[in-house]
Every structure is written in structure tokens, then in C-alpha cells.
Chain A
Amino acid sequence: MAASRMLRKPISDRTLCTLFLVPSLVILAVMVAYPFLSLLINSTYRFSALRSNVEPVFVWLDNYDFLLSDPDLWDRFTFTGTFVVLTVSVQFILAISVAYYLQRDFRGRDLLFTVLMIPMMLSPIVIGFLWRYIFNSEWGLMNFFVTRLGFDAIDWLGVTDNALIAVVIADTWMWTPFVILLAVAAFRGIPVSIQEAATIDGASPFFRFTRLTLPMSAPILGIAFLLRLIDSFKQYDLFFALTGGAPGSTTETVSFYLAKVAFSYFYTGEASALAVIQLVIIIGLSLIFVRLLTRIGRQRQ
């Protein structure tokens, strides 16, 4: 009761605003800003979290130099890049063709749409194991279909290229719904009158789609593209459960490699440097993303 009497005293908007922001600011400062600064500092030392009795040695930018001249890291970047390009383009091609037919109203559309959205909400670790089971070369569902169609059984997870395809299939399964969600929103946001005018002028459906629908949906598809780019660049869980980096270490993403440097080798200094590199890339991409987001937000108001 005492509290409510206290609140009857008018609080200025300024104080209220500060009080409202404090909890979020505190948790984000502790969990993000402080770690980032500490990573920056740690990345200039040579030390291992395992051996706390050994004094850290200040080495300037040696950790960065070491990492950037390490061919292993470039292999991880190349693999991550290949994965990102493949998975994002497959998702967009698939999502745009499905969204093209899902934008119209038909009986049961809303139900179908809702059901199709489910995969992006599921636990990546469960999904990873599920697909690992489906891709098993001996008893997996995938090879059952492959052999039924008259082909030889495929060693999905034992060969690097096949494993890459397997992860792309699983990631596409999970994230195409997200691209469909945004593509349908974009397509439906285009005024019907524009489409009708083009039809009256005799534009073919293909022409209308490539010259009207796609360009007009570009900003929203841009949001989808950047978010998918960022998310697939940092993908960790799915690889952990599906390939575990195998065969060898050929399907390790940058995130995966970072976890290994930090928690298997315990090269804490190098790991901090790699974390900083990864964060700088992500922050760069996020900046572009927020620019696009605020522009669209303003247009919609």
C-alpha cells in the first residue's frame, strides 16, 4: 500500500522514461557492451582461460595476424560463404514460387499458411538430429526414396559436398517459411489497381511478375534477405546436431570453429580476436538492415 501512495506523487515524464529504460539497459550493458569491450581487450593478449596461473602476455595485434594468416580459418570462411550463398538462394527461389501461389485467396488458405509457418519456430537442435536420422545412409528415409527411384544409395553425411547439400536441405526446410511469410506480405501489399491497370494494358502474367511485383516488393524482400544472411552466417546449432563438423572438419562454419578454438583448444586470446572479427561483420550487416528497416517503417506511416 505504501508503494501506491508513493506513486500518487506525480513522477515527471523524464524520470518515468529513465526508470522504464533502466532494466533493459542494465541487462544489455552487462550482457553485450561489457563483453564486447572485454573481448576487444582480451584479443590483444596471449593467454588461455584454462591456465589462469600463467600471466597473459600483451601481444598487440598478433592474434589477428595469426588468425588471418591461418589457412584453416579461410577454409571456414569459404565453407560458411558457400553455405550462406547456397541456402539463401535456394530459400528465395523456393519461397517466391510458393508465395506467388499463396498470395491469392482460396479455401483453406489461412490454415495451410499457418501450418506451413511452423518449421521456423522449432528447436534447431531437434531439427538437426531429425535430419541426421533422415539422411542416415543405411536406414534413413532419404536413401529409401533415392533407392526406390532407382539410384544408388548416397553417403549423405560422409562426403563433404553431400553433407553440405544435406545441411542446405535442412536449413531450407526450416527457414523457407520465413521468406514465404515476408514475400506474401510484400506481394499482398501491392495495390490491386496497379495489377489491374497492367492487365488491361495487355501485360502478360510473367511480365507483371518480373516488372511490377518483384520490384515493388524489393524493400521487404531486402529485409528477408539481410536477416537470412545474418542468421545463416552465424548458424551453429544445426551444424552441431546434423554434421558435427564432419567429415573431418570440412563442414565447420566460422561459429563452429570459434567454439573449437575457445572451448577445445582454449586459445582464449585468439578466440577473442575471432569473436571480434565475427561481431564486426555482423554489426556491419545489421547497420544496413536497420537503415532499410527504418526507411520502410517511415514509408508505412
Chain B
Amino acid sequence: MKNKHLILPVVILGLYTLYNVGPLLWLMISSLKSRPDLFAMPPTLLFEPHLAGYEAVFGVGAAADSASSHGVFASLINSIVIACSGTVLATMFGTLAGYAASRFNFFAKGDFMFFVLSTRMIPPVAVMVFYHQMFSSLGLADTWTGMIMITTFINVGLATWIMKGFFDGVPTEVEAIALMNGYSRWYAFRKLVLPMVRGGIAATAGFSFIFAWNEFAFGSILTTTEAKTLPVRISSAAGATGIEWTQIFAAGTVLVIPVILFFYLIRRHLLMGMTFGVLGKKG
């Protein structure tokens, strides 16, 4: 009798898990295949692993010097520099603004918070028409500085909202007591409140890194050679001469692995991060 109740849940969860996990495993398996194995029908599960794609991505071995893999390694370095710098800046700015929004009342605060959040909703292509001109005239097109501005801006809004959520969870008495004892508010913020929201800062940085690391739309228009990121480089591996599947899957796997590592870091704050700090505050 008890088993009968289990059939439906097991079937639904089982099928969904298969649909959910299968493609990701297929990406990782395919990244190790040689060209003939990639196009084998029926698809092969047992094959001799082939590292040409990874050699191109990490700039080692024979495959790294071929014309088709030119610049792949450089784009990996670009991605690391741009995503990390943007993450640090967005987390810093978001932490400061989040604290201000949590503790103080200021002019048009509600409008400010809406404006901050709306930046998260903006379709990249819509503002790009403008950025394209602004970046060219300021010499920011195809530079690290320009792309770091982008990865900072796309995350500042989210970072502010998440950090406000975390600061809201710290009782205001913490600063009140410090102020009463003659410490400055800056001291209370830095030495008392900040350590209490360490987990929140880590979560904010985790989210920011993931979005910065995956950013494609801005990079595809605003970079051409020098500051091309790995996702943008992947898209040009699908050129006129056909698609470099081995490179795409190897680069794809390299793009996915840090995300899974960071995902582990933010897993308990997932609900909070995805709802702008409003739900799941206790995590």
C-alpha cells in the first residue's frame, strides 16, 4: 500500500532529474570527444578521451597554436580579470549602498531602491545602442576598463538589494551601543556590523561573479579582439568554416566548473539572492 503512493513522486522527480542533469553531463562528456566521436550516430558513450579542446582553451600543446583556436586562452584570461574585478567593485559598492539603505532615511529612498532594482531588468541590447557610441568616443571599447564598468554595473543593483536584506537582519542596537560608548559609526560599521554579515558578502560576491562570468550580450558588441571574454570567443567559434564543437564544449566546461564551485558557496542563500533579499532571509 505504501509503495503505491511512491510511484508518482518517484516517476516525476526521476524524469525531471534526468532532463535536468542529463544535458550537463552530455556537455562534459562531449568536451572529451574527438571529431568523429562527436558526430557518431548512434552517439557513443565509450570512446578514447581527446584533449584538443582543452589544449586550445588553456593555450598548451599542438591544438593551442592552430588558427581556429587563436586567442581562446587570451579570452579566458580576459574573462577572469573582468569577472573578478567587476565582482569586487559591485560587492563593495553594493555593501556600502545596502548599509545606507538599511540604516538611514534619505531623500526619495523608495525611488532610489526602485531605480537600483530596475537596472537589473534592463535588456542589455536596449542600452547597448548608447554604450556603443559612448565607449567608442571615450576609447573604452574593447578594453578591460570598459568591460569592468559593465560587469560592475550589471551587479550593483542586485548587490545593494541583497546586502540591504542582510543588514536589515542585524539589530540597530549594535551601532546604538557602540555610539553610546564613544565609538564612531564608521568604526561600528567596519568592526562590528561588517563581520556579522560576512556570509551575506560572500553570497553577494558569489552571485555577482556568476552573472559577470556568464555575461555575453554586452561583450559581444563592445569587444572585438583585445578584451573579448570566453563566452564571446565561444560564439565566434561558430564561424563561416563550421562550428568548432570540441572547443565550444571544452570552453563550455571550463566556464561551467567555476560556476558550480561558486554555486556551492551560495547554495543556502539562493532564495535570497534570486528574490533581491526579500525572501529566505534566515538562511
Contacts and interface: CB of A to CB of B under 8 A. Distances in A.
Interface of A: 7-8, 10-11, 13, 16-21, 23-25, 27-28, 30-33, 35-36, 38-39, 42, 49, 94, 97-98, 101-102, 112, 114-127, 129-131, 133-134, 138-139, 141, 144, 173, 176-178, 181-182, 185, 220, 223, 227, 230, 233-234, 236-237, 240-241, 255-256, 258-259, 262-263, 268, 271-272, 274-276, 278-279, 282-283, 285-287, 289-290, 293, 296-297, 300
Given A20-B100, A296-B278, 11 more contacts: A27-B152, A30-B149, A35-B130, A116-B16, A126-B251, A176-B20, A182-B274, A234-B125, A240-B220, A282-B126, A283-B118
A54 to B, nearest CB: 15
Given A17-B100, A129-B238, A139-B41, A173 B92 contact: no
Nearest to B114: A290
B21 A259 contact: no
A300 B276 CA distance: 14
B117 A130 contact: no
B279 A130 contact: no
A123 B23 contact: no
B20 A28 contact: no
Nearest to A291: B114
A28 B275 CA distance: 20
B270 interface: yes
A129 B127 contact: no
B271 interface: yes
Q: Is the interface of A mostly helix, strand, loop or mixed?
A: helix
Nearest to B130: A35
A117 B271 CA distance: 11
A126 B256 contact: yes
Interface of B: 8-9, 12-13, 16-17, 19-21, 23-24, 26-27, 30, 38-43, 92-94, 96-97, 99-100, 103-104, 106, 112-119, 121-134, 149-150, 152-153, 156-157, 160, 184-186, 189, 210, 213-214, 216-217, 220-221, 231, 234-235, 238, 243, 245, 248-249, 251-252, 255-256, 259-260, 262-263, 267, 270-271, 274-276, 278-281
A27 B279 CA distance: 27
Contacts of A13: 104, 185
B253 to A, nearest CB: 9
B14 to A, nearest CB: 10
A129 B123 contact: no
B186 A11 contact: yes
B97 A20 contact: yes
Nearest to B118: A286
A38 B135 CA distance: 14
Nearest to B99: A20
Given A32-B119, A286-B117, A220 B279 contact: yes
B23 A258 contact: no
Given A122-B256, A141-B43, A255-B125, A102 B279 contact: no
A236 B150 CA distance: 17
